A and B are shown apart, each in its own frame.
Chain A
Amino acid sequence: MTEPPTDPPNDIALPGAPARRRLGPGCASDLTLDQLATGELSVAERAATLGHIGLCAACGQAHNRLQESRATFASTANLAALAADALSRAQATTSQRRWLFGWAPRLALPVGLSAAAVVMALALLMPSSGVAPPDTRTKGGFSLSTYVKHPDQESAGTLHLGEPLHPGDRLQFRYNGSDAGFLTVVAVDGAGQISIYFPPGETAQKIQPGRDLPLPSAVELDGTLGREIIVAVRCAAPIAVSDVVAAARRAQSLAGNNGRPAPDIGPLGLPCVEARQEITKIAQPKTR
């Protein structure tokens, strides 16, 4: 896992694909071209991008392609029907998923090593579900998925898909795995603090094999901003939660010695299976 000391190259080719469109650092990504169209660029960025696409044939063509796809969508899509369909689906999934989570805090968990972290156990109303959300970051058949509920969101939690989260958001986890074992979930935040997310007790909790099985507790994110790595550890034998925390701390100091900042820790080095999730916490944006 040790990374080489030199920076990777800026331009990386993909087997089986043509060269990238970008010719140099001034070239615009599709995201920039989209933001040009949606008015999200600053005055300076907008001027620079417009100047560049006037000079660079590759970016000019890409810009035209995006404009055409916008025009096609606007002229062919039935926006009213799409909006009505999305609204009815959103309401259907809201009522369908409402019973999956009990989001009211019930008791405070002992907070790992971090006084900053506020971790609360939230009792679940009902553990099993017919809804099968996709899992992510599978390792050795064991994976973790994260559900989020924002404080101002309606009752249902939604599968976390990498969107930035905010202090006060609540997370609930589900796991997939073909083997039973003993589960611990810890997190390392941007300040290098380690917190225990699961279980509330001192020993890793026995779990059964299955798909999308929710853990019977959830956590509320504290005010520490930045990236956070969540590590689920499934061991074949019972293990003390403190041993998992100690392993995370060792991995953290090893990463620090290799020049990697918190929370980038390598494998915990336990004889167990790991699954990871990464979240990014940002301050609550100002109301526009």
Chain B
Amino acid sequence: MGRPPSVDRAEIEGLYRSYGALVRRRARSILNDDREAEDALQEVFVRVIKSVADFRRQSQPSTWLYRITTNLCLNRVRDARRRRARLASVGDSAKAIPPTATGPAETAATVHNLLAQLPQDLAEIAVYYFVDEMDQAEIARLLGVSRRTIGYRLERFVAQARQLLAEAGVAPPGGLGVPKTEGESG
């Protein structure tokens, strides 16, 4: 009981060298804030240290870190939203979504605003799909569910996102929601 994690600083430094940028970048994408991302980076590595025996055995540490980072950051987004809830209505918050967007930064901003307001199981998948550009089969492997389940949850996320935008009086840009076939199967 209570013995400190059996890991030394050199090993942790090595893990930062290999994976720090990945965690930092993704935290920044989800949280949309540099300082929050720095803190999330540390929180993720605290988790690595506390589960170091488990972490060392991962054959694909990046997938483990993707999940931990995503969920930690989503929790932060939600906590921040709870703190703000007394000050701003859902409509005001949805209006912060840029109606026209052109690149990865805008995708991150849009996703960030939606993540705070939509259920976490849908939000996690939306991060992998819209921010990390995974395909549905890849997300299905990461989460251990079927490709169909991923597709349905993504559709639910988008439907709820559209509803939030409509309630906020933000007209979705033209052509959205018309699926094009990507050619993947699963």
Interface residues of A in 1-38 (CB under 8 A from B): 3, 7-18, 20-22, 24-25, 27-32, 34-35, 37-38
Number of residues on chain A facing chain B (CB within 8 A): 82
The distance in angstroms between the C-alpha atoms of A132 and B35, with both chains bound, is 21
- Flag if B180 contacts A93 (CB, 8 Å): no
Please state if B135 and A25 are interface contacts (CB–CB under 8 Å): yes
Chain B min CB distance to A227 (Å): 6
Given contacts A38-B61, A79-B20, is CB(A16)–CB(B158) below 8 Å? no
Flag if B46 contacts A89 (CB, 8 Å). yes
A204 to chain B, nearest CB (A): 25
Q: Which residues in A have their C-beta under 8 angstroms from that of B53?
A: 150, 152-153
Question: Is B21 a contact of A74 with CB atoms below 8 Å?
Answer: yes
Which of A10, A38, A154 is close to B5, meaning CB atoms less than 8 Å apart?
A: A154
Check if B121 sits within 8 Å of A156, measured CB to CB. Answer: no
Say whether B24 contacts A73, CB under 8 Å.
yes
A22-B181 Cα distance, complex, nearest whole Å: 12
Q: Which of B38-76 contact A (CB under 8 A)?
A: 41-42, 45-51, 53-54, 56-64, 66-68, 70-72, 75-76
What residues on B are CB-neighbors of A16 within 8 Å? Answer: 97-101, 110, 161, 165, 170, 172-173, 176
Given contacts A17-B110, A150-B53, contact A85 B67 (CB under 8 A): no
Q: Which of B115-164 contact A (CB under 8 A)?
A: 119-121, 124, 126, 128-136, 138, 142-149, 151-152, 154-155, 158, 161-162
Indicate if the CB atoms of A163 and B50 lie closer than 8 Å.
no
B25 on interface, CB distance cutoff 8 Å: yes
Cβ contact of A40, chosen from B60, B103, B165, cutoff 8 A? B60
Across the interface, name the chain B residue whose C-beta is closest to A133: B75
In the complex formed, the residue of B with least CB distance to A148 is: B51
Residue ID in chain A nearest B175 by CB atoms: A13
| A66-B154 Cα distance, complex, nearest whole Å | 25
For residue A208, CB closer than 8 A to chain B, the reply is no
| Pairwise interchain contact B151-A158, C-beta atoms closer than 8 A | no
Q: What A residues does B18 contact at CB under 8 A?
A: 38
Q: How far is the CB of B58 from chain A (nearest CB, A)?
A: 7
CB-CB < 8 A to A98: which residues of B?
A: 1-2
Most chain A CB neighbours (cut-off 10 Å) among B102, B111, B128, B130 = B130
Q: A15-B165, A38-B18 are in contact. List 6 more A-B contacts (CB 8 A).
A: A24-B183, A40-B62, A73-B20, A95-B2, A98-B1, A166-B54
Do residues B2 and A35 form an inter-chain contact, with CB atoms below 8 A? Answer: no
